[in-house]
Structures are given as C-alpha cells and as structure tokens.
Amino acid sequence: MPRIEIIGVEGIPEIVEGIDLGETILDAVRKTGLELRNGDVIVVSHIIVSKAEGRIVNLSEITPSEFAKKISTESGKDPRHIELVLRESKRIVRMRRGLIISETVNGLICANAGVDLSNVGKGKAAMLPLDPDNSARKIRERIRELAKVDVAVIISDTHGRPLRNGAVNIAIGCSGLEPLLDRRGEVDIYGRVLTSKIICVADELASAAELVIGQADEKIPVAIIRGYKYKPSETPAKIIPRREEDDLFL
Amino acid sequence: MPRIEIIGVEGIPEIVEGIDLGETILDAVRKTGLELRNGDVIVVSHIIVSKAEGRIVNLSEITPSEFAKKISTESGKDPRHIELVLRESKRIVRMRRGLIISETVNGLICANAGVDLSNVGKGKAAMLPLDPDNSARKIRERIRELAKVDVAVIISDTHGRPLRNGAVNIAIGCSGLEPLLDRRGEVDIYGRVLTSKIICVADELASAAELVIGQADEKIPVAIIRGYKYKPSETPAKIIPRREEDDLFL
C-alpha cells in the first residue's frame, strides 16, 4: 500500500539573521537520529526563513503614514502594523474593519500582505521572504552540498482564503518539484481521458506538513514528507497565483 | 518527533448503489493486513460515496432545458452535463465559456456544482452526495459497530479555488473531528496570544490524503491518516463554507 510519512523536525534553534538554514535544518534532523533521503520533501515554515533573511522589523522603528493612521483610528489596529502592510503591498484588493487584503510585491493576494506579529517576539513583525522561491532553492542546494541528497523544498505560510472559513497552509516558495501537477491526458479507471485535472500538489504538501508543524505550539517549523513521488522540476511557486483575468471565481 | 502516516487503501472493489461503505472499507483495510485504530482519520473520496448512494446518472436519461442547450451551443459542452449542473445548483455565481461556478444545494460554491464525468464510466455523471456530513457519520458509525474503534471520517472532493491555480482536495463532509481548529487564545513561543488563528484542519487532512489517493490513477479512493491528534467533535463540514457577507476576499 502506498504510504507517506510526515515527520516534524524538533530541535531547530532560535533563528537569527544570516544563519545557514540548510545546515541548521540538517543538523536538527541528524540530532534526532534521522538522515535526509533523496526524494524527501522538506517543508519550511516561512517564519524561520523571514528571520534568517532579516525580514523582521521592530515596530518602534516604523513611522506610520497619514493613511495608516487613519485606518488605525477606524479599526483600533496598531498604525505601525498597518504601515508595514502598506509597504509590503503593491495593490490593495479589499479593505474592511482594518483587515487589508492586498497583492504583495511577490504577487500573492493575501490578508495583511503576509505581515505576521506571531512568533517573532514582542514589538516585532515578520514580513514574507523577498523571494521565497529563491529561499527554497538556496536551502535545497545547501542540503545537497552538505548531505549529498537531492530533496525538494517548499516554503509554507498559513493563509486565509475566499469562500471557506479557516486558514490552510500553502506553498509560497518551491524548489525541486513541479508545484502544479498536470494530469490532463491521463485516463481514469474507465478509460476516460481527464480533461481538466491540474492539482496544486505544492499547496497540498504544505497543508499536509502543517498537520505536524501546527501541532506543537510553533516549536516545529520544519517537516519532512517522505514517500511522496513528486515530479522533479525547477518550476517556481510563483506560477501558482492566478492572473485576475483568468479567475472565474472573482 | 511527531510523525503522521498517510496510508492508501488498495483493493476497494467497484462500488455499486446500496453497498455498505463502512464494511467495504474495513474489509479492504483488513485484507492488507492492517487494522484500524482509535484516532485514525479515514478520508474517503466522494466518488465512491456518490456511487454507494445512487448519485450516478446516465446522461442519456437527462433532457436538457432550453437554457442548458443555449449554454451548450456557446461552449461546445454536452447540454445534458450542463442541465445536471443547473439541477444541482441553487444559485449561479459566475458563468464563462461554459464553466459554471454555482452554489450547490449543500451550500458549497464550486465549479460545475461538483458534477463529475471522471471515474464513473462512459455516458455517466456523478453528483455530490446529498448530505456528505451524514455520509461521513454513517461510515464512522458502521466502522465503530463492526470493528469497535472510534475513527473520524472525512469525505473529500477535488476543488478549484479562487486566486490560485490548480485544484486541491477539501472536506465536503466530516464526522468525529473538529473541522475548524480555533487556536485563538493560545500563546506563541514568545508568549504572545494568538488573536486570529483558525485552521481548517479538515481541508488540510483532505489535501494530505490526496497525496496518496491521487498517485494511483484513482484506484485508491480511501486513505488512513494515522498519528494526527484531532480534537473530537460532532461539528459538520457544512460550517466551512463562508457566508458571502463575511467574505472580505469577494
């Protein structure tokens, strides 16, 4: 029977700017007695990537604009947080009660431009990595260099979404696996050719990893998914966000 | 280290109307030498539930309405398929090039009202189960009765979604676990109280299961997720679709 394992990696130390994430992950895995294998998928919560890449700011260093102050007055939210969200956005999609849905500089449409006040410490905020596909690629290459294994790497984030309550984890960066598995042309069990089946396996892998990452009070920022036969590819996760004109749902 | 297993259940026979799905799943699991355990999550692809519940129709028995014929002429799609989509919908949300986004009688907003032409045989179509939460509950109770184990059951479907390319698997029915895990009030690693974190673990479990269900040319319609510590609950999956007035994304 096909069997996939999702293993939470404990023992990742506090991440500081400039740390070698590939080496850090590898060390933590080895300390638990495991070895990474060819074909493993390593899902990394974006928060430690943001920390390693210096994408953390002290809110005390942020001077809110007049616009941010106005939104703050109306919503009761910290004006410096709103200012950061505006700085990380290239376009506001919707605004209501201080919640801002915007398109980030990376082309993601999400709440608060992905700016996070959790798991960074009091008075601080985390912004998304500047180029999460590149972050994934660097971790993957470093692991290949140090451990001589070829893994795929996904950078994940927890995102709210339209139509459905509750957030799920999605892939904001990807290296080594095809994020969108195109199954068109395959036949079903009755011989009918599939005409419209494209699966976002990168998002499904990110969601699967959250089942262990989310269970441990954020102390497990990395998961290994073992046994999933992905399609090797250099396609980035930035192809996942859909162009608005192609989006029938909106 | 926290570890979750996703096990694909092979050997599920062709499902006919009226079959006892709980018993069928249990038999298939036992034939592989496994036993279900308390706390296992059983993810069942909706297609076999639709078959067991007689939600399959011969397209030859469907007489398309004038409206369905008109959409067919414009899009080149089978007018009987369109007719079925209309019959399964209580409201059309968007229409373009023959693709219909509608709200189903169950309150799901999805493409083609979930009517599926794959994996049902030539000239046939599958509709979604009439009450997938009830379908999940029945399978769960039958397994408890026969095997004396308390599992949670999720009925899954592959859905396209707004903003992001590629479909993912979501939970359309659920029994035994809390589909929306409310983590508000928990503290992060720095002691900050989480204010907005609600995770749709039911959808994440459905997505995780698809990693084995989707790998085997549709021959594996059931997966066991073992090792995930869910919160026991009788809350149905029908609370996941968000009321439109609460949806800032739309």
Q: Are residues B44 and B96 in the same domain?
A: no
The beta-carbon neighbor of A162 closest among B32, B169, B250 is B250
Confidence bin at A249 (pLDDT 50/70/90): confident
Residue B183 DSSP class: -
B38 & B77 share domain: no
Domain boundary among A126, A158, A173: A126
Does residue A64 lie within any of the structural domains? yes
Q: How confident is the model at residue B193 (pLDDT cuts 50, 70, 90)?
A: confident
pLDDT, chain A, mean: 93
Question: What integer pLDDT is reported at residue A174 of this predicted model?
Answer: 98
CA angle A134, B209, B6 (to 5 degrees): 95
Residue B10 lies in a domain: yes
Q: CA of A149, closest CA in chain B: separation in Å?
A: 21
Q: What is the pLDDT of residues A205-227, one digit of tens each?
A: 999 999 999 876 668 999 999 99
Q: Which residue has the higher pLDDT, A90 or B250?
A: A90
Contacts of B250 (CB under 8 A, 6+ apart): A162, A163, A250, B162, B244
Q: Which ipTM score applies to this complex?
A: 0.95
Residue B120 included in any domain: yes
Contact A165 B188 (CB under 8 A): no
Please tell me the distance from the alpha carbon of residue A201 to that of residue A179, in angstroms, as a whole number. 6
Q: What is the pLDDT of residue A246?
A: 77
Instruction: Supply the pTM of this predicted model.
Output: 0.96
Looking at the fold, whether A142 and A184 belong to one and the same domain comes out as yes
Q: What is the pLDDT of residues B51-71, one digit of tens each?
A: 999 999 999 999 999 999 999
Q: Count A/B contacts: CB-CB distance under 8 Å.
A: 250
Widest pairwise Cα distance in chain A: 63
Q: Are residues B138 and B234 in the same domain?
A: yes
SS3 call for A155:
strand
Residues of A with CB below 8 A from B199's CB? 158, 166-168, 210, 214
Q: Do A90 and A42 fall into the same domain?
A: no
- Residue A217's pLDDT is 62
Q: Which pLDDT belongs to residue A216?
A: 64
Measured distance CA(B205)–CA(B44) in Å, rounded: 11
A233-236: which pairs have CB atoms within 8 A and are 24 or more residues apart? A233/A176, A233/A177, A233/A178, A233/A179, A234/A175, A234/A176, A235/A174, A235/A178, A235/A179, A235/A180, A236/A133, A236/A173, A236/A174, A236/A175, A236/A179
Question: For the stretch A183-197, what's the b/e string if a residue is b when 16 or more beta carbons lie within 10 angstroms of its beta carbon?
Answer: beeeebeeebebeeb
Tell me the percentage of chain B whose pLDDT exceeds 90: 76
Burial class (CB within 10 angstroms; exposed 0-12, middle 13-18, buried 19+) of B220: buried
Among the partner-chain residues B191, B200, B225, the one whose CB lies closest to the CB of A166 is B200
* Phi, psi of A212, deg, nearest 5: -100, -35
- Phi (first) and psi of residue A57, to 5 degrees: -125, 150
CA–CA distance, B2 with B27 (Å, rounded to integer): 29
Q: What is the per-residue pLDDT for A197?
A: 82
Q: Using 50, 70 and 90 to split pLDDT, how confident is the model at B181?
A: very high
Tell me how far apart the 2 most distant CA atoms of chain B are, in Å.
63
Q: pLDDT > 90: what percent of chain A?
A: 76
Residue numbers in A near B1 (CB within 8 A): 7-10, 32, 34
Q: Specify the 3-state DSSP secondary structure of A240.
A: coil
A142 and A229 in a common domain: yes
A142 or A118: which leads in pLDDT? A142
Q: Is residue A88 part of a domain?
A: yes
Q: CATH code at A85?
A: 3.90.1660.10
Q: What interhelical angle do B79-87 and B66-75 show, nearest 10?
A: 130
Are B188 and A119 an interchain contact pair (Cβ–Cβ within 8 Å)? Answer: yes
Q: Tokens standing for B31? A: 């034939």
d(CA A205, CA B132): 25
Query: Mean pLDDT, to the nearest integer, of B145-167?
Result: 96
Instruction: Give the burial class of A13: count Cβ atoms within 10 A of its Cβ; 0-12 exposed, 13-18 middle, 19 or more buried.
Output: exposed
Can you give the pLDDT at residue B218? 67
> Per the CB < 8 Å rule, is A9 touching B1?
yes
Amino acid at position B85, single letter: V
How far is Cα B76 from Cα B62, in angstroms, rounded to an integer?
17
C-alpha distances (whole Å) from A223 to each of A17, A127, A173, B196 are 21, 21, 15, 23
- In the structure encoding, which two tokens stand for residue B132, read together? 């997938």
pLDDT at residue A27 in the model: 97
Residue in chain B lying closest to A33 (CA): B1
- Residues of the domain holding A94: 57-126
Per the structure, the count of domains in chain B is 2
pLDDT given at position B34? 94
pLDDT single digits (tens) A140-193 = 999 999 999 999 999 999 999 999 999 999 999 999 999 999 888 788 777 887
Contact B190 A240 (CB under 8 A): no
Pick from B54, B60, B209, B219: which is nearest to A188 by CA? B219
Measured between beta carbons, the chain B residues lying within 8 angstroms of A212 are: 2-4
Q: Is residue A246 part of a domain?
A: no
Helix and strand element counts for chain B (H, E): 6, 13
Give A47's pLDDT tier (boundaries 50, 70, 90).
very high
Residue numbers in A near B96 (CB within 8 A): 248
For A17-45, the pLDDT digits (tens) are 999 999 999 999 999 999 999 999 999 99
Burial class (CB in 10 A: 0-12, 13-18, 19+), B17: exposed
pLDDT-derived band at A248, boundaries 50, 70, 90: confident
Question: Are B162 and A160 inside 8 Å of each other by CB?
Answer: no
**Alpha carbon of B135: minimum distance to chain A alpha carbons (Å):** 21
Mutation target among A204, A212, A239 for the B interface, most CBs of B within 10 A: A204
The beta-carbon neighbor of B101 closest among A198, A229, A249 is A249
Residues B87 and B182 reside in one and the same domain = no
Residue listed under structure tokens 């004396």: B148
CATH code of the domain covering residue A13? 3.30.1330.100
| Rama region for A115: left / alpha / beta (φ>0; ψ in -120 to 50; rest) | beta
Which residues of chain A make contact with B247, given a CB cutoff of 8 A? Answer: 162-163
Kindly give the pairing relationship between strand A89-96 and strand A124-126: unpaired
Q: Which residues of B touch A170 (CB under 8 A)?
A: 164
Name the residue among B97, B87, B138 with its Cα closest to residue A245: B97
- Residue pointed to by tokens 């299961």: B209
Distance from CA of A66 to the nearest CA of B (A): 24
- List b or e across B27-43, with b for residues whose CB sees 16 or more CB atoms inside 10 angstroms: ebbeeeeeebeebbbbb
CA pair distance A225, A175, nearest whole angstrom: 14
Residue B99: closest CA among chain A residues belongs to which residue? A248
Is residue B248 assigned to a domain? no
Residue B97 has pLDDT above 90, yes or no: no
Q: Any idea what DSSP says for residue A242?
A: P
Number of other CB atoms surrounding residue A5 within 10 Å = 18
- What is the number of alpha carbons within 13 Å of residue A172 lying toward its C-beta? 29
**Same domain (yes/no): B122, B134:** no
User: How close, in Å, is residue B65 to chain A by CA atoms?
Assistant: 24
Are A216 and A233 within one domain?
yes
Minimum distance, in Å, between the CA of residue B139 and any CA atom of chain A:
21
- The reply to whether B49 and B133 lie within a common domain is yes
Q: Output the pLDDT for position A30.
A: 96
Q: Do A2 and B212 touch (CB under 8 A)?
A: yes
Task: pLDDT band for B244, please (50, 70, 90 cuts).
Answer: confident
Q: Is A155:A44 a contact under the CB 8 Å cutoff?
A: yes
Identify whether residues B15 and B67 lie together within a single domain: no
For residues A89 and A221, is the Cβ–Cβ distance under 8 A?
no
B249 inside domain: no
Distance from CA of A130 to the nearest CA of B (A): 19
Do residues A30 and A115 both lie within one domain?
Answer: no
